[in-house]
Structure 1
């Protein structure tokens, strides 16, 4: 029996095919080895028949998978060309490091053995040195998975992809290397991506070319890509991200289209990287074109309303300049009108015609109403905690009724307004058995409505503060609110427990109760203690409007304040404590109007409230109180929110009894005028006790100066206040926001222009897992240096308003 060895060795760098004669014993020294001509070899093998094919060395790749890729078959004539093709085909699979083919001949029969050496498996992929980019994002970029066979070509491609990922995120100096670590020789390896991120490249300057009508500052302010500045490390400005570029181009085009430059062209930004790869310069070329105005506006197609009514529904013809955003709003409004008639799939197509001579855009809204649709099944999905009925009771649509777009939108807004969900989407689908039926899936992503808050801080007014609360806004998934809180500081303590059932026994009535106890020493002239409770009932009065009635029982105790030496501070002539101590038994009626998109973190909408309290149902302290407030929220652009709060309050005597001085109004602190300390703005009265003490300590002081120093903050029967602020993201991913604010207010018996105090300031807010942590610096615009500080810092937990 003779044996012929056909050996083939192909690596990732080269491939070759080697044939040898049948193995023989080595000739003795001086013995001439026999030679075989190639022609005779071919002649000798051309008549061989492949009788058997074996595969050895395979561990993970199935034998049948290997045999399916080779052309040589049992029973066919042996061919060296086929062997060569077989080996090349197997290598192309990418599974093997080495392949050899042995041939064993017996007469006219040949047995072929394919010996394969498989590539090792990647059992583990790790990432080292990445702090700015998540490992999950790197893994997605590489496309490599554990338990794949090691392929160095794909590993090299993966390194390039990770390098590109870092460049897209602004890390042009990042270095990425891949290291293969053997775990089991020739069987398993660990693939380690070693990353040196280095410094991120910064956007040094953005230059616009060709813009004449829109200034650089206006364009830059709207872009996602921003120039780096002094606060870049804190705000994240100056970051370069490749994926932002396409969005920036669309943003700039949108800005021009909204100004009537409908033929404006914005080229893709050109990026120049400095030699040290630390800064980039961006150049954007713009062709503005001419500004176009609105021409004739008409309607065509399936018109279901009088044209005059359609004209009244749109706004674009009221605008001199052709604005793209107004056009989109008009399309939405017209679509809603058709949707309210049941045409859920009505299509409104704006047909535009440009008059280059007159620089006008004529517009025709073409309607395709489609067919009427009815609501089918309404399902709730994604609510693992919240019960279905909590969402369903907010719906304005019902199964089986004719489709109505306005009520569908209201339903969506009502569910969002609950504040229980991060995302709310209405996913619609047509019933395959009846195309007139639309099924709706209300898909929600639940928000963590349970909060355990614990914080400590320091404020100018309250000193060191410890705050804690447990609040569940969706208790047991029933939509109920259960909360307990405490506030301990150098100036007092506050404890409370509250519960609210928004739909008592599945009716429209809401029921709630509160109990509380507080001790307040923040006032400069006396200490104030309260304990009591309240019960509340509410019922909707109209769309977005709700009425409440509350009964409160409060036991107030005022006590003398002492200084560190144990001497009394309280002027009992000015503040007769017994007249303001006692029980208050009152009933309050309130009407609220609320269109905020989210009760927890509103970015748009209105909240207004009016209430009247009658404290005359028995008790010791008697008065009437009127409150009114108006809050307005607007998302100006991107994540910048304009927040406003306007308040007015008045308290009056009842049954001839003076208003308790502890109920009078004073302003200042983190929840009113933020540039002033608590209770440091409002009506003041002269204290004879303090005057006598000053004259005794400093006999040389003038009566006028002593009298000025003897004024005490007493409080007024009226209060008016306005707060406005802009809130914007600093580090959006971390929930860190910045805010600039302006406050103005007064607290007097009779309000006049000279009584108002104002402040400006800025703050940093962290929307943390334990609540909104506020760090704010306020600067009064008008103050009395004797009583009011030039700068006030406040730390507090909870939203400003």
Structure 2
């Protein structure tokens, strides 16, 4: 048997000439040494096949190719009676990856990160990749402030040429920022400057926010905030000279030193406009909020530029370029600005493209758009279109892009991409309220029925006081003009025997049809008419007014209510607003044709003011008035009530106002509520948790016959103050308040701790 070894070592392959042999025709190819790799894989990489001639060049190429796969750590070719024998030694495969002491990170997240590097079960083991994985793991810990982390890696050989990798991690504790020093600041105290920073020394909430752990990204953001702080106060030449970050020898404390150069404070000497205005210079000048004589403010200058750019965008100049050029007079410490305006060409929308809507019909999306195809581009209309799509609630994400049409200078496309989310809900839940007790609820709703944009809802709610079963349907575009149409069918029970309200029970069945009319982008008017039958059950201890009502009008009454509602919503957010306003005016009139005739009117005005990035002031006012007409009185079950977590906190729900001779609250036909609340978000949870300090005021008044009401009741406004918490929890919205009555009077019922978990229909 004749054998000859071609190359033996890889080094010999690349640095020394291969052992020469006479070319021959390959009769067969045999692979030896494989354990996990399929023979077909080796054959697939070989550049020579049976029946072909093997020479020095092809043999060397075969070895290079097999080494290049990374599967083998040794490859050689032998010749045996015109048979090509490929002898390989496989690299070990990774059988398992384990961690000991891993607490800071989720194991699955780390395994995914290591897999991207090449360390994962089933992959070929590579020592260089393992070292890279160790460094990446350490880097991840450094981002968490764990500078003392120790990672020991053990590679254990296993059967069938496999290895197990174990990362033994001693995480240690996170290093905390011990001190932040700002050197060079003269005109502002270090405390004022550090208040702009997100990074901070340990405090009462930093265990959650982690802002006491050093982060390069957070420091960069804080330095930009510091620069903005100075630039908005006239320091045009402010600069951060250097930043030093040091760690204590025990790797427990981090020290940050920032060296700054404040420079001089500049005043604006003049502001001029130049360029091709298109719009009158006088109109553009009104948009410039930075004025001669003002202290320089980068924020005001940027807002001025943006206002001009937005105004031009409203006229179709989508690619307007607005820049301010400064002229600095260092001796006088003044700066003059020339705002150059280049509107570019006016552009129109060639096409509006909608993508991502696999279920929702195109027409449902397009009817919400305020920008039209073929019309001049209007930035305000594009923004309004996106906001209207967001408010539909059909999509988890809506993005709008306005790319220029290639090869043109006056056209663009509006590309709208939506990501649909499930709009059908089957909800079974429970809520708890300090007023209602246990609330069991269930509903089946489809907000986008068959992609048509119509809403269908079947709901059931059961509480200690209110029990409701209802069916609702709404078509938001009953007409092409946006007039909505819908109907409601309901059954409602009220049991006040467990509350501070005079005891009675009522059972109502009704139906209504309604229409909505848009009267603006943020305003709507709705009109409805229905029929309602209510049965009253009174008791011996019921209010005399209740008993008298049943005696006069009977225990069952039919009414025909007509409703009119006007809503104007300008809040910047539905859940946690920070700016904007909300108004609602409602009128319900029971018209002749039923057993009772009455009216009930209410108005609410709510305003939000952003006091800073962290604090919001909410002001809310509500008034209500109701009475009977046409010789009828107001049904007692249409009375207003006040007190509780949703009105005057600190007083028991529905307890304010007139009381009967038994001391039970009977409500009234007039109500006033006023609330002022300072709100702030919890760092890191701003979108789900908000706290507040409130001052509430309110009262209910009524005009009742002598002998029905308890004498000596003080009907002055009641005031309360306290703290509140609103949380969008995984099980539903949670409202908590701790209120303190400021002017409690005799007979008032107070309740300091009040809460409501879950929603009611």
TM-score between both structures, scaled by the size of structure 1: 0.78
2:562 matched residue in structure 1:
587
Helix, strand or coil for the counterpart of 2:386?
Answer: helix
Q: 2:727 aligns with which of 755, 765, 780?
A: 765
Q: Verify: 1:260 aligned to 2:213, yes or no.
A: no
The answer (yes or no) to whether the contact 1:526–1:559 under 8 Å persists in 2 is no
Helix, strand or coil for the counterpart of 2:396?
Answer: strand
Distance change >3 Å, CA 465–CA 350, structure 1 → 2: same
Q: Alpha-carbon deviations, 1:223-247, whole Å to 9, x = none? A: 3334433344456554554432222
Q: 2:267 aligns with which of 293, 302, 305?
A: 293
1:668-747 alignment, distance < 5 Å? 668-681=643-656, 683-685=657-659, 687=661, 690=662, 710=663, 712=665, 714-729=667-682, 731-732=684-685, 736-747=688-699
Q: Verify: 1:782 aligned to 2:760, yes or no.
A: no
1:260-339 alignment, distance < 5 Å? 260-266=234-240, 270-274=244-248, 277-317=251-291, 320-339=294-313
Structure of higher CA gyration radius: 1
2:388 matched residue in structure 1:
414
Q: Alpha-carbon deviations, 1:597-641, whole Å to 9, x = none? A: 455665554322223332233333332222222233466666866
C-alpha displacement at 1:311, in angstroms? Answer: 0.7
State the alpha-carbon separation in 2 of the partners of residues 467 and 211 from structure 1.
Answer: 60
C-alpha displacement at 1:164, in angstroms? Answer: 0.7
Q: 1:755 aligns with which of 717, 736, 743?
A: 717
The answer (yes or no) to whether the contact 1:643–1:727 under 8 Å persists in 2 is no
C-alpha displacement at 1:502, in angstroms? Answer: 0.8
Q: Verify: 1:519 aligned to 2:494, yes or no.
A: yes
C-alpha displacement at 1:345, in angstroms? Answer: 1.2
Distance change >3 Å, CA 312–CA 667, structure 1 → 2: same
Helix, strand or coil for the counterpart of 2:139?
Answer: helix
Distance change >3 Å, CA 326–CA 715, structure 1 → 2: same
The answer (yes or no) to whether the contact 2:183–2:258 under 8 Å persists in 1 is yes
Unaligned runs of 5+ in 1: 20-41, 562-567, 691-709
Helix, strand or coil for the counterpart of 1:157?
Answer: helix
Unaligned runs of 5+ in 2: 704-713
1:625 matched residue in structure 2:
600
Q: Verify: 1:97 aligned to 2:50, yes or no.
A: no
C-alpha displacement at 1:292, in angstroms? Answer: 2.8
The answer (yes or no) to whether the contact 1:413–1:597 under 8 Å persists in 2 is no
State the alpha-carbon separation in 1 of the partners of residues 756 and 734 from structure 2.
Answer: 7
State the alpha-carbon separation in 1 of the partners of residues 535 and 19 from structure 2.
Answer: 117
Distance change >3 Å, CA 667–CA 336, structure 1 → 2: same
The answer (yes or no) to whether the contact 1:375–1:400 under 8 Å persists in 2 is yes
Distance change >3 Å, CA 600–CA 775, structure 1 → 2: closer
Distance change >3 Å, CA 160–CA 512, structure 1 → 2: same
Q: Alpha-carbon deviations, 1:431-489, whole Å to 9, x = none? A: 33645331221012334444444444544333334344444433333322333444433
The answer (yes or no) to whether the contact 1:559–1:577 under 8 Å persists in 2 is no
Q: Alpha-carbon deviations, 1:555-605, whole Å to 9, x = none? A: 3344335xxxxxx43242686342686333221222222234455665554
State the alpha-carbon separation in 1 of the partners of residues 183 and 114 from structure 2.
Answer: 35
State the alpha-carbon separation in 1 of the partners of residues 565 and 415 from structure 2.
Answer: 36
Distance change >3 Å, CA 716–CA 744, structure 1 → 2: farther
State the alpha-carbon separation in 2 of the partners of residues 304 and 217 from structure 1.
Answer: 48
Q: Alpha-carbon deviations, 1:12-60, whole Å to 9, x = none? A: xxx899x9xxxxxxxxxxxxxxxxxxxxxx9xx9996564799965757
Q: Verify: 1:381 aligned to 2:333, yes or no.
A: no
2:139 matched residue in structure 1:
164
Q: Verify: 1:554 aligned to 2:532, yes or no.
A: yes
1:225 matched residue in structure 2:
199
Q: Verify: 1:793 aligned to 2:745, yes or no.
A: no
TM-score between both structures, scaled by the size of structure 2: 0.82
C-alpha displacement at 1:255, in angstroms? Answer: 2.8
Q: Verify: 1:368 aligned to 2:342, yes or no.
A: yes
Helix, strand or coil for the counterpart of 2:277?
Answer: coil
C-alpha displacement at 1:648, in angstroms? Answer: 2.1
The answer (yes or no) to whether the contact 2:483–2:516 under 8 Å persists in 1 is yes
Helix, strand or coil for the counterpart of 2:750?
Answer: coil
Q: Indicate the larger mover: 456-465 or 788-797.
A: 456-465
Helix, strand or coil for the counterpart of 1:476?
Answer: helix
State the alpha-carbon separation in 2 of the partners of residues 216 and 479 from structure 1.
Answer: 56
The answer (yes or no) to whether the contact 1:313–1:334 under 8 Å persists in 2 is yes
C-alpha displacement at 1:679, in angstroms? Answer: 0.7
Distance change >3 Å, CA 774–CA 585, structure 1 → 2: same
Distance change >3 Å, CA 117–CA 295, structure 1 → 2: farther
The answer (yes or no) to whether the contact 1:47–1:77 under 8 Å persists in 2 is no
Helix, strand or coil for the counterpart of 2:381?
Answer: helix
2:710 matched residue in structure 1:
none
Distance change >3 Å, CA 436–CA 715, structure 1 → 2: same
Q: Alpha-carbon deviations, 1:763-791, whole Å to 9, x = none? A: 151342x5323344333333347533362
Distance change >3 Å, CA 173–CA 642, structure 1 → 2: farther
1:27 matched residue in structure 2:
none
RMSD: 4.4
State the alpha-carbon separation in 2 of the partners of residues 46 and 483 from structure 1.
Answer: 81
Give the number of aligned pairs.
729
Q: 2:640 aligns with which of 651, 665, 668?
A: 665
Helix, strand or coil for the counterpart of 1:317?
Answer: coil
State the alpha-carbon separation in 2 of the partners of residues 77 and 97 from structure 1.
Answer: 21
